[in-house]
Structure 1
Amino acid sequence: LQGLLADPAFRKDVGDLVQARRDAARAPAWFQQTYPRPPLTCAAYFSMEFMLSEALPIYSGGLGNVAGDQLKAASDLGVPVIGVGLLYQQGYFRQLIDRDGAQQALYPYNDPGQLPIMPLRHSNGEWLRIQLGLPGHPIWLRAWQVQVGRVKLYLLDSNDAANYPPYRGITSELYGGAPDQRLMQEVILGIGGWRLLAALGIEPEVCHLNEGHAALAVLERARHFMQRTGQPFGVALAATRAGNLFTTHTAVAAGFDRFPPGLIEHCLGGYASNQLGITLDDLL
């Protein structure tokens, strides 16, 4: 490797390839050529998992495959899409077959310093963090960015030193944990994800939910409309509904989370009454 780096011809070839990729990324793609004055400036794509590469193991299977391919296709076509997901400390388990033929589940740690991601930072260099009010204590979420060609994927995780230990583990595993952890993951993805976009100054015309895990983004979007216009929740929900899309990958009962009303009240009762101005029955 050192010998290649010392070769001027090799360095020039690598530099030419890098520059060609940069030029291609800046050149108008199909969307820009077809719609020089597009009515769509941004579509936010929410998903619990994204399969982009083995180097970023935050996926399980088919749903992540669909989400990852959507971002890659959007990049190729130049469609103005941004992704919103979660960064898992362990992700989904890695399969190991032992000598007896039995499956062993391994959960290696995803070290952010070894992943193709970078922290999102304010102009002053401080890490961009989002605060959510969960029952008992507020929680801080760290924000990350993944570059997928022309497209950006934003990720949130709760493994912040400012959080209580149980909260740091909310984003530990994909599709793991008890129902309360799963619900809090969906709170982070939906509510936290929309707040992250607001903190970045991004106002998507379209909110695309890849399965129901990010359904709470619909409520947070309505809440932001309420703040801007002073309208009640019912009006805000109706006004923003046309820009919300839902697609399902697993159209069977086992593919959808169900939470008991008591858990919904515990995690979201205060949010519903204090920030949306609705009752628990309205929320349910």
Structure 2
Amino acid sequence: MLQNRYMPRTLPEPLQGLVELAVDMRWSWNHESDVLWRRIDPRIWDATGNPWFILESIGRDRLEELAADRDFLREIERHLGRRQAALSRRTWFGESYGSGALAGVAYFSMEFGLSEALPLYSGGLGILAGDYLKTASDLGLPLCGVGLLYQQGYFRQVIDAAGNQIEFYPYNDPAVLPVTPLRDAAGNWIRIEVELPGRTLSLRTWEVVVGRVRLYLLDSNDPINTPQDRGITEKLYGGGSEIRLQQEIILGVGGWRLLERLGTDCEICHLNEGHAAFAVLERAASFMRNNEVPFEVALHCTRAGNVFTTHTPVDAAFDRYPAPMLLHYGRPFAEGIG
């Protein structure tokens, strides 16, 4: 049988529950199941802390051995029961405000630091964003995250014998990350299109399960795109100002279009720093099209639902782009709204 490399491998039937436990990154802050993953392969667990990678790495003989271990199977059932009980428990938000009090919050961020097993962050901004998602899950907030899936992410560093810092970029293979492709009802991989000068960019979409919350990711590494465009989402904060601007267009415009494609009702659009500012414009453009009003009216109607957080309020922390570059990349969007 043909196996999709971005989907879970086929496990023996008694072990199928491991996929449910591995795909939910609740394990990144609830460590009850650590002993389960270490029991499967202690070396890989201690090296990676990545349940998804463990399931992709262990051999068939070890799988058959575990499938015949009744004690291990009981452990799986126990952890599945605990997960289900935790997710079905009444939450602070539900008890305080009820399920219909808030349609939804879309939390846009260039970084999300959920775990070292999903290296999409460089520092405090990403760790905060990851903690937002974890806390929203525990509290029952109707929130989803929107970010980018980087092929390499942020650089790692080592110090050589002379005391010099050396940067290197490990490759993030989605096949061994706790992410899965977003698919429509017909099973097609959902792709979002964003207009760039002289071309249309195709974006692949991914889903990360974070307890009750979902994190949606986009990347440009689609074979449909040119080699140059496939590299737009290669690195976090890398490649110069033009790549940075392209990434922000993908995050803001592409991210909002993805939410609309999924039918996600977002009452609040929360920008974690200014990287996703284009989401405000795309939200207004969508309101304009759906309600047949001028763009200025749409911007006024949606602005109260936009929230902005800044973490480093100094001049060096804000992106600045040359006016000709902004005009060059803004023209396709402006033409799209008339």
Q: Tell me if both proteins adopt one fold, taking TM over 0.5 as the criterion.
A: yes
* Structure with more of its chain in helix, by fraction: 2
Give 3-state SS (helix, strand or coil) of 2:197's partner: coil
Give 3-state SS (helix, strand or coil) of 2:299's partner: helix
* Cα distance in 2 for residues equivalent to 1:122 and 1:68: 26
Tell me what 2:256 maps to: 194
Q: What is the TM-score with the length of structure 2 in the denominator?
A: 0.80
Tell me what 1:249 maps to: 311
**Which of residues 267, 275, 283 in structure 1 aligns to 2:336?**
275
* Cα distance in 1 for residues equivalent to 2:66 and 2:177: 25
Q: What is the TM-score with the length of structure 1 in the denominator?
A: 0.94
Quick check: 2:270–2:308 contact (8 Å CA) kept in 1?
A: yes
**Which of residues 113, 127, 145 in structure 2 aligns to 1:83?**
145
* Cα distance in 2 for residues equivalent to 1:4 and 1:220: 50
**Which of residues 228, 235, 240 in structure 1 aligns to 2:290?**
228
Tell me what 1:156 maps to: 218
Unaligned runs of 5+ in 2: 1-39, 41-61
Unaligned runs of 5+ in 1: 278-284
Tell me what 2:180 maps to: 118
Aligned runs of 1:1-284 on 2, under 5 Å? 1=40, 2=62, 5-272=67-334, 274-277=335-338
**1:4 Cα deviation from its structure 2 partner:** 5.1
Give 3-state SS (helix, strand or coil) of 2:246's partner: helix
Tell me what 1:281 maps to: none
Tell me what 1:282 maps to: none
Amino acid at match of 2:310: T
Give 3-state SS (helix, strand or coil) of 1:141's partner: strand
**1:147 Cα deviation from its structure 2 partner:** 0.6
* Cα distance in 2 for residues equivalent to 1:26 and 1:99: 53
Amino acid at match of 1:110: N
Query: Percent identity over the alignment?
Result: 57
Superposed CA offset, 1:175-213 (max 9, x none): 011211110000000000000000001120000000000
Superposed CA offset, 1:218-244 (max 9, x none): 000000100111100110000000000
**1:275 Cα deviation from its structure 2 partner:** 2.2
Which region of structure 1 is more displaced relative to structure 2, 92-101 or 138-147?
92-101
* Cα distance in 2 for residues equivalent to 1:259 and 1:203: 32
Quick check: 2:182–2:207 contact (8 Å CA) kept in 1?
A: yes
* Cα distance in 2 for residues equivalent to 1:246 and 1:172: 26
Amino acid at match of 2:168: L
Superposed CA offset, 1:242-284 (max 9, x none): 0000001111111111111100111111211x2233xxxxxxx
Which region of structure 1 is more displaced relative to structure 2, 41-50 or 263-272?
263-272
**1:216 Cα deviation from its structure 2 partner:** 0.5
* Cα distance in 2 for residues equivalent to 1:154 and 1:46: 10
* Cα distance in 2 for residues equivalent to 1:147 and 1:199: 18
**1:136 Cα deviation from its structure 2 partner:** 1.7
* Cα distance in 2 for residues equivalent to 1:140 and 1:5: 41
* Cα distance in 2 for residues equivalent to 1:148 and 1:101: 39
Tell me what 2:45 maps to: none
RMSD of equivalent CA atoms? 1.2
Amino acid at match of 2:258: L
* Cα distance in 1 for residues equivalent to 2:155 and 2:310: 23
Superposed CA offset, 1:68-106 (max 9, x none): 111111011011110000000000001111122111100
